[in-house]
Amino acid sequence: MIHSTPRLRFAPSPTGPLHLGGARTAMYNWAAARALGGTFLLRIEDTDQARSTEASLRIILAGLRWLGIDWDEGPEQGGDYGPYFQMQRLHLYREAADRLLAEGHAYLCYCTPEEIEVGRKELEALKAGFSGYNRRCRSLSSEQRAAFERDGRKPNVRFKMPDARVMQVHDLVRGHVEVNTKELDDWVMLRPDGVPLYNFACVVDDIGMQITHVVRGEEHFLNGIKQRLLFEALGAECPLYAHIPLILNMEGKKLSKRDADTNMLDYRDKGFPAEAVFNYIALLGWGFSGDRDVFTRAEMVGAFKIEGIGKSGSKFDEEKLRWMCGEYVRHWTPAEFVQRARPWLADAVPTAAFTTHAAWLQNALACYQERVAILNELAAKVGWLFADPAMDEAAAKNLVKDPASKQWLAAYAEHLQNSNLPPSWPADRQGVDDVVHLPTKKDATAAACAFWTPSAIEHDCRAFTETLGVKFGHFVHPVRAALTGTDKGPGLFDVLFLLGKDTCVRRLRTAAT
Ligand code: GLU
């Protein structure tokens, strides 16, 4: 290897948000740097001044931070190899261009866009297979150059590509590849205003920042060929390259806005857990082990190898991402679930529930931990806990399925009126919610409680249906409809326990009328 310390970079252009592909590129470079015990830096490729914005930069940095991808050098971090913004490095590009001009690797090109187009058409007509820039300015005499200068023309600097060199290159992902340079143009490195083009700035910076490995999208593979030649011309060894396949949609086509959110922060704002999104993105081209898809950042770093990135395009599967989110949500503690869900519940849950009734709320939300994957799904599900719900279609059907249901509800309301159901929220429930953690199949604490726990409620309910002469399985549906307004949700006895006596009795009576 060239340098003893591995140095990798993510080099976004701040012309838009951090999207899925960018996040994956950043992550693989980050993971490789961490796995190799090296340095991961961010370089901001802001030379497209018309499209680069401060807002995009902020969004990219926030997206990376949200995913837990931290950088050792770069914006807001500094470092010994800066500046890390290309527009602050113009003098370095000028110097490198002067050197390449002096050594005959580059030349000044005075052609106007119209002249270039005419030349291109002429080449096309020859049908010789190459129709790029006709290299007219490669062989200008000093008089011709002076004449152009007198005309006020300002030159671009172009790189001289070898005529038809067969390059054997090794890519860490694609393996051995052969490319003939005859298909590649003499490309523009530097504009008259001193602003570099991507390939040029990239190489000057990869040299200056001592980059050892580059992982990036396969759309840069041919750029990599141009860049290798430039490293050679500048007398520097080029980094090891890994060009990774595109992320495709489920049909195997290029991913579009319809298939996935284009801004990673949209996933954040919807309540996709960051660790789950990280984990899912890691799998878009890399595998942890044959039989395990869920792993932590640290486990990824422990196992990551650039050579382990797959050659074929991976498909973005929204359903799998959701499954992954569910996996993470399920494994939080109930307290963590409340804390992480809170930002999405501001409108749906009264503040007091978070403060004076924290144990009750934790029990209530715990019933949903198996039922949500994305945190913004929660608010719409928990309304029945706080206000008498409107009845949805399925619930309304369940309420009238048996002609006697309303009588059962009225009878159950009377029965509960004299029961040991806990008091209804927001009355003080201390001592009840503290000891019962929902969802509960069988709560061992039942005997020790002054109030009925869900197990006790169930026990009582079964006995009640027997005295009523109604099948338990038939009885529960209209009761659930009356209490929650839906046919879904937590276990019915968890529902009764959470709602408490007054609320249950009131809702059962209302539904019975
Ligand atoms: N700014 C380039 C991009 O966003 C960087 C490519 C590279 O990593 O060399 O595609």
Residue type, 238: C
Which has the higher per-residue pLDDT, 352 or 183? 352
Ligand 1 center from residue 298 Cα (angstroms): 26
To test the pocket of ligand 1, the residue of 7, 9, 13 to mutate (highest count of ligand atoms within 8 Å of its CB) is 13
Provide the 3-class DSSP secondary structure of residue 171.
strand
Ligand 1 center from residue 295 Cα (angstroms): 28
The beta strands (E) that lie in 78-210 are given as 106-109, 156-159, 166-171, 175-180, 188-190
Residue 182 gets which letter from DSSP? G
* Closest ligand 1 atom number to CA of residue 22: 4
Nearest to 264 by CA among 26, 10, 11: 26
Mean pLDDT, the chain, rounded, equals 94
pLDDT of residue 501: 97
**Which residue has a Cα nearest atom 5 of ligand 1?**
11
Residue 155 gets which letter from DSSP? P
To test the pocket of ligand 1, the residue of 20, 45, 222 to mutate (highest count of ligand atoms within 8 Å of its CB) is 45
Ligand 1 center from residue 428 Cα (angstroms): 59
Ligand 1 proximal residues by C-beta, below 6 Å: 11-13, 45, 202, 216, 220
* Closest ligand 1 atom number to CA of residue 219: 10
What's the average model confidence in pLDDT over 86-98?
98
What's the average model confidence in pLDDT over 215-233?
97
Answer yes or no: is pLDDT of 241 > 80.
Answer: yes
Ligand 1 center from residue 82 Cα (angstroms): 17
Ligand 1 center from residue 141 Cα (angstroms): 36
What's the average model confidence in pLDDT over 87-106?
98
* pLDDT interval class at 339 (50, 70, 90): very high
Residues facing residue 168 across a β-bridge: 178
Answer yes or no: is pLDDT of 66 > 70.
Answer: yes
To test the pocket of ligand 1, the residue of 220, 223, 227, 241 to mutate (highest count of ligand atoms within 8 Å of its CB) is 220
Percent of the chain with pLDDT over 70: 98
Which has the higher per-residue pLDDT, 110 or 313? 110
Residues ≥6 apart with Cβ < 8 Å to 21? 217, 246, 247, 255
The answer to whether the beta carbons of residues 34 and 75 sit under 8 Å apart is no
The answer to whether the beta carbons of residues 429 and 357 sit under 8 Å apart is yes
Answer yes or no: is pLDDT of 130 > 80.
Answer: no
**Which residue has a Cα nearest atom 3 of ligand 1?**
12
Residue type, 327: E
Prior bond to 83 cis, omega within 30? yes
* Closest ligand 1 atom number to CA of residue 216: 8
CB atoms near residue 242 (< 10 Å)? 21
* Closest ligand 1 atom number to CA of residue 12: 4
Ligand 1 center from residue 463 Cα (angstroms): 69
pLDDT of residue 431: 86
What's the average model confidence in pLDDT over 484-510?
96
* Closest ligand 1 atom number to CA of residue 9: 8
To test the pocket of ligand 1, the residue of 24, 197, 202, 306 to mutate (highest count of ligand atoms within 8 Å of its CB) is 202
Residue 423 gets which letter from DSSP? P
The two three-digit tokens of residue 65, written as one number: 């931070």
* pLDDT interval class at 446 (50, 70, 90): low
What's the average model confidence in pLDDT over 54-62?
98
What's the average model confidence in pLDDT over 296-305?
97
What's the average model confidence in pLDDT over 438-448?
67
* Closest ligand 1 atom number to CA of residue 206: 9
Of the listed ranges 12-16, 195-199, 312-316, the least confidently predicted one is 312-316
The two three-digit tokens of residue 7, written as one number: 């140095």
Percent of the chain with pLDDT over 90: 88
Q: Is 257 in the active site?
A: yes
Q: What is the DSSP string of 213-262?
A: EEEEEGGGHHHHHHHHHHHHHTT-PPPEEEEEPPEE-TTSSBP-TTTS-S
**Which residue has a Cα nearest atom 4 of ligand 1?**
12
Answer yes or no: is pLDDT of 127 > 90.
Answer: no
Q: Which of 253, 254, 257, 441 is catalytic?
A: 257
pLDDT tens digit string along 159-185?
Answer: 999 988 999 999 999 999 999 998 889
Answer yes or no: is pLDDT of 341 > 80.
Answer: yes
Residue type, 329: V
pLDDT of residue 208: 98
Ligand 1 center from residue 13 Cα (angstroms): 7
pLDDT tens digit string along 411-434?
Answer: 999 999 999 999 998 898 988 898
The two three-digit tokens of residue 200, written as one number: 């040029």
* pLDDT interval class at 437 (50, 70, 90): confident
Q: What angle do CA 431, 435, 439 make, to 5 degrees?
A: 130
Query: Domains, the chain, ranges and CATH?
Result: 1-75+245-331 (3.40.50.620), 94-190 (3.90.800.10), 393-512 (1.10.10.350)
**Which residue has a Cα nearest atom 6 of ligand 1?**
11
Answer yes or no: is pLDDT of 447 > 80.
Answer: no
Ligand 1 center from residue 71 Cα (angstroms): 17
pLDDT tens digit string along 311-321?
Answer: 998 999 999 99
Name the region of 252 (left: φ>0; alpha: ψ -120 to 50; beta: rest).
left
* pLDDT interval class at 3 (50, 70, 90): low
Residue type, 386: F
pLDDT tens digit string along 387-402?
Answer: 999 999 999 999 999 9
What's the average model confidence in pLDDT over 86-91?
98
The answer to whether the beta carbons of residues 494 and 421 sit under 8 Å apart is no
* pLDDT interval class at 1 (50, 70, 90): very low
